[in-house]
Amino acid sequence: MSAVRGLIGRLCSLSLGSRTSFQIRAFSSAPLIDESGIIEEKLRIIEKTPRVMTPNSKRTGVIALKCGMTATWDKWGARIPISVLWVDDNIVSQVKTVEKEGFFALQVGCGQKKEKHLTKPEVGHFRAQGVPMKRKLREFPVTEDGLLPLGTSIGARHFVPGQYVDIAGITRGKGFQGCMKRHNFSGMPASHGASLSHRSGGSTGQRDAPGRVFKGRKMPGRMGGKQRTMKNVWVYKIDPARNMIWVRGQVPGSEGNFVFIKDAVYKKPDISILPFPTYFAPEDEDPEALEPLIADLGDVDPFMAAD
């Protein structure tokens, strides 16, 4: 039986002829050879220089750790709830281009991790790219003018106080919950005739027709532990010395969880004030001597503007 299979495979390869050899060369790493000679692959040169941002340009995002919640007061005495985020040693760990992967993107690594705590594929990836071992990786799609060289450091000054950002993260897990807590049901009547069913979800379907429960029916189940994005979060303050970002309001996840920050999609920031493709610190700049940057609140109290 094996001899018959081998004979059939040999006849198929002979019948395909040069077509088979072309497919093998097309999917191999060797350069293609045509009538004019060897086709050399063009290498893309990415420079670490500031560029002019256009309305269609897209910058990379950063990975941060949620440090916790706090509050501050503005100059009119209003209380502002604040979430503190720490941008822990973000670098570009991989550059993806159209020539190789078919799209433009930057893989960003955050934090540090020992080699013994990583898997062999992860260690091989970092060694092939020539970058330090990172604790968390995230890929951000960018435009061609938003590419950064491999190993470029990205800090908190990638963003500007006063702009809006989108923050994604894994929400806190609540465990198995009922309909009232999970889907905000009002519950059953707490009067006569409602025996041990005050917090139940009620009817879940019909009788013989259709004789089943429709898909998407809200029922008790696991709550939380999913990736969610908080849109249009306002950046209140940036501390370049400690690489920390203060944003107004809450962000997904518990303290110590990773969150992913990028420019807002709906409330787009002013491209004239954003560092593009990122902020490049001067050589003579001392990060520890820099003062925190606070957003300009203006001269009118936003809470009294209606009067």
Q: What is the pLDDT of residues 208-235, one digit of tens each?
A: 888 999 999 999 999 999 999 999 999 9
99 within some domain: yes
Radius of gyration of the chain (CA): 28
CA–CA–CA angle 133, 137, 140 (5° rounding): 135
CATH number of the domain residue 69 falls in: 2.40.30.10
How many domains are contained in the chain? 1
The one-letter amino acid code at 135 reads R
Range of 117's domain?
A: 62-173+224-278+286-294
Mean pLDDT of the residues in the chain:
86
269 in a domain, yes or no?
yes
Asked whether residue 23 is domain-assigned, the answer is no
Distance CA 258, CA 261 (A): 10
Query: Is residue 185, in this structure, part of any structural domain at all?
Result: no
Q: Of 252, 261, 65, which Cα lies nearest the Cα of 170?
A: 252
Identify the band that residue 10 occupies on the pLDDT scale cut at 50, 70 and 90.
low
Residue 217 domain flag: no
Q: Which helix (H) or strand (E) holds 180?
A: helix 179-183
Other Cβ atoms within 10 Å of 76 Cβ, number: 11
Distances (CA, A) of 22 to 12, 42, 83, 239: 15, 21, 57, 57
Reply yes or no on whether the pLDDT at 111 is more than 70.
yes
Dump pLDDT digits (tens) for 79-100: 889 999 999 999 999 999 999 9
Say if residues 82 and 276 touch (Cβ distance below 8 Å): no
Band (29; pLDDT cuts 50, 70, 90): very low
pLDDT of the residue at 4:
54
- Asked whether residue 303 is assigned to any structural domain, the reply reads no
Percent of the chain with pLDDT over 70: 84
- Poorest-confidence range of 49-53, 75-79, 136-140, 197-201? 75-79
pLDDT (average), residues 230-250: 94
Spatial neighbors of 234 by CB under 8 A, at least 6 apart, are 162, 163, 164, 247, 248, 249, 295
Convert the pLDDT of each residue in 32-71 to its tens digit: 444 555 444 567 888 899 999 999 999 999 999 999 999 9
pLDDT at res. 130: 94
- Which residue is associated with the tokens 């518990």? 254
Q: Is residue 94 part of a domain?
A: yes
pLDDT at 21: 36
pTM for the model: 0.81
Residue type for position 232: N
Question: Phi and psi (nearest 5°) for 223?
Answer: -120, 135
Q: Is 130 a member of any domain?
A: yes
